[in-house]
Amino acid sequence: MKKKKFLTGRQILPEQITAETSLSELVDGSFLAYNAARLREACHLYVRKMLEPDVTVGVSLTGALTPAGLGMSSLIPLIEQGFIDWIISTGANLYHDAHFAIGHNLHVGSPFIDDRALRKEGVIRIYDVLFEYDVLLSTDEFFRTVIKGPEFQKGMATSEFHYLLGKYLSEREKALGIGKVSLLSAAYAAAVPIYSPSPGDSSIGMNIAREALVGNKLQIDISRDINETAAIVLNAKRKGKSAVWILGGGSPKNFLLQTEPHIQEILGIEDAGHDYFLQITDARPDTGGLSGATPSEAVSWGKVDPNMLPDAVVCYSDVSIALPVITAYALANHEPRERSRLYEKREALHEQLLSEFKRTQTGLQ
């Protein structure tokens, strides 16, 4: 009887894959072990629990995802279906996202090219993605021109900054007649707020710094970012559940997860951590790097609700493989959700956070 409790799992006896096998059938029927099984579990967690109506889904983006086309192929469809409520991204992903909207071309290449020859010919390489050096110069000029506008001459959260950028990129898409190719543009249309934890760590930040030398008044308010993201999570927990989907790791991962320690530890507001945790990563946990930190480790920080730890999946895979699979699976197996349009609710959510924080301070007096 004791050994039988270990043998209650599904029998490994998959049907043969045929020319008619759909992606959903492949995931459900053939992804039975190892990281294929974790990818199946990721699909199921996302579709069956994280996309419930009362769940707020936050996504973090790390690595060169947009240059590889994953913004337009995978993330835009999720945004348009209401499957992503808010985003934290590296500045680099957002910078390279802009190339497409202003009409530049990126090309499939090879990682085995002599980079000295590429430098001589004025070609930039991101592993096996190739594009002209002038694409960078043109994109830099676009950002510098845009941020000279009067609406940028103040301090603002990166959510407002990216929303305004998305508006201009959306206008460029329409003028060029190229359809929806920009993540920033799609987020603008759906009022999905996008934050960047290290706004200076990208070409966008460098162009802001350049314009500051000639009197531009744009200032990124990182404190507002921290409080806004915490307010989104607090509201999610007060009305339902909070889910985090981590693509890669790095600073965006921590910025997404630190919302709960900010609520509990720093602001003193009672809460229990995120409810659902899904990460796609190739980082190992034993090196001490944050990208490899497990959900159970996050529990010790108060980032993840310990009671919800079974609803946590880490899939050790390349994001460029796993993200399209999860996107396709979600689109095939879940109806569209009503868009939360959190960008338009930022002020109200910030006031809610402030109100709860003030109550904790009153209790300390």
Q: At what angle do helices 319-333 and 23-30 cross, to 10 degrees?
A: 110
Q: How many CB atoms lie within 10 A of CB 287?
A: 8
Query: Which of these is catalytic: 148, 174, 303, 345?
Result: 303
Residue with tokens 């806004």, as numbered in its chain: 228
Q: What is residue 244's three-state secondary structure?
A: strand
- Encode burial over 201-212: b for 16+ CB neighbours within 10 A, e otherwise: ebbbbebbeebe
Rounded CA gap, 188 and 133, in Å? 28
Single-letter amino acid code for the residue at 134:
D
Helix (H) or strand (E) holding 59: strand 55-61
Residue 131 tokens, joined: 């594009």
Sign of CA dihedral 223, 314, 84, 142: positive
Rounded CA gap, 60 and 257, in Å? 10
* Half-sphere exposure in the Cβ direction for 98 (13 Å, CA): 26
Angle at 167 between CA 99 and CA 55, to 5 degrees: 100
Rounded CA gap, 259 and 193, in Å? 15
The per-residue DSSP string of 33-45 comes to SHHHHHHHHHHHH
The per-residue DSSP string of 260-285 comes to HHIIIIIS------BSEEEEEE---G
Distance of CA 180 to the CA centre of its chain: 18
- 167 catalytically annotated: no
Active site residues: 303
